[in-house]
Amino acid sequence: MPKVVAIFGITDWNNGVGHELYVRKIFESLNWQMVFVRANKFFTPALISDADLLMVCRNGDPDPIDLFADNAGVADKVVKGASLYTDANVKAIMSNVSDRGMGLIAMHNTVLCSNLQFTDFLDVRGIEPHALEPVWYTRINKTHPIMQGIGKFPVTNDEQPAVIIKSSSTATLFESTSVHEKRQAVSGWALERGKGRIVGLLPGSTVHAYQAPEYQNVVWRAAHWAMKSNIPNYPKADNRYYL
């Protein structure tokens, strides 16, 4: 039974609990062990020492409030929580991918982690989003196993982080077009690092992205590909507009 660890904690801008619920629904038909971390301080190198896949959706900010303090819910001031990208955590993630073959999916604002070593490992440079707006996800790379059978799709309200891919060996999976800003940008990529595989997926500031059946299918296929597993058909696959 694969073990999947995911950190989708609450931040100032992202509803991590909402993201968690949708991600759990994507994989509910599978007998996978899903371990979600809702606060940075609960993420440890030991937690991923036997994980088959790590899904990360966190930028470089600390938890906005330490919701899991000893007296959580009773406070006379706001206390910042822990940061995720400590030297020990970054080293553990990288070594588990490269040396052990753990899969890694870096989602949404992970590219804004402010850790140069980690973004180098992802083979990208992140670019800040500007606003919430309608976004189309287009230019699907249907030659890649993750994107086979998936058509372009819209998300009604989302941020548009972007990346610049550094190496020609990294494959672009799809791009995005922001309706108001008219920016075209890379929003999905995949590469191999040592024994492991990495997928970057940028949709998902809001839960609207996870409501799109096309994106659910992307996440489903990315998880299997990252773990070097056969990719079964997603039970809820649906291309609403385009093949």
**Residue 170 to residues 38, 93, 94, 122, 166: CA-CA distances in angstroms?**
30, 19, 17, 9, 8
Res 68 pLDDT > 80: no
User: What is the domain partition of the chain in residue ranges?
Assistant: 3-123+187-226
Structure tokens at 117: 């070593």
67 or 55: which leads in pLDDT: 55
Q: Model confidence over 197-228: pLDDT tens digits? A: 999 999 999 899 999 999 999 999 999 999 99
Say which residues have a Cβ less than 8 Å from residue 144's Cβ, sequence separation at least 6: 171, 173, 190
Q: What is the DSSP string of 163-204?
A: EEE--TTSEEEEEEEETTT--EEEEEEEEEETTEEEEEE---
Of the candidate ranges 7-21, 73-87, 221-235, the one whose mean pLDDT is the lowest: 73-87
Q: Supply the pLDDT for residue 61.
A: 87
Q: Model confidence over 102-157: pLDDT tens digits? A: 999 999 999 999 999 999 999 999 998 888 999 999 999 999 999 999 999 999 99
Say which residues have a Cβ less than 8 Å from residue 175's Cβ, sequence separation at least 6: 137, 138, 139, 184, 185, 186, 187, 188
DSSP letter, residue 147 = G
Question: Which has the closest alpha carbon to 16: 48, 47, 38, 49?
Answer: 38
Q: What is the mean predicted confidence (pLDDT) over 73-98?
A: 86
Q: What is the DSSP string of 34-93?
A: EEEE-SGGG--GGGGTT-SEEEE---SSPPSS-TTSTTTT--SS------S--HHHHHHH
Mean per-residue pLDDT over the chain, rounded: 92
pTM over cut 0.85: yes
DSSP letter, residue 226 = H
Residue 199: strand pairing partners = 105, 190
Would you tell me which CATH number, out of the four given (3.40.50.880, 3.90.1150.10, 3.40.190.10, 3.50.50.60), belongs to the domain 3-123+187-226? 3.40.50.880
Res 70 pLDDT > 70: no
Q: What is the mean predicted confidence (pLDDT) over 25-51?
A: 95
Question: What's the CA gap between 149 and 208, in Å, rounded?
Answer: 21
Q: Model confidence over 167-195: pLDDT tens digits? A: 999 999 999 999 888 889 999 999 999 99
Q: Supply the pLDDT for residue 107.
A: 96
Question: Which has the closest alpha carbon to 216: 202, 237, 200, 197?
Answer: 237
Res 12 pLDDT > 70: no
